[in-house]
Amino acid sequence: MPQDLILYVIPLAIIQLTIQVFALVNVSKKETNEIRFESKLVWVLIIIFGSMLGAIAYFLFGGNPNGQDSGQD
């Protein structure tokens, strides 16, 4: 592997891992009824196997269903 390529791959891998861990922690802290489709297991599998795209999909589509606010200020 060329040295220049390593300089690009390592930061991208760190960013991907950070986003995935953040998404997994977010899923684990939410109640089941606060997650779209009410299935934590499905979202965990999407985040793990979908890598960065799975985590981004969770943040875009996995939040509160119908745009409801959690009511916490």
Domain boundaries, the chain: 32-63
| pLDDT at site 64 | 66
Q: What is the pTM of this model?
A: 0.76
Burial group, residue 47, by CB count within 10 angstroms (0-12, 13-18, 19+): buried
Among 67, 54, 66, 68, CA closest to 26: 54
Average pLDDT over residues 36-56: 89
Q: Are 47 and 54 in contact (CB under 8 A)?
A: yes
Residue 21: alpha-carbon gap to chain centroid: 7
pLDDT at 33: 81
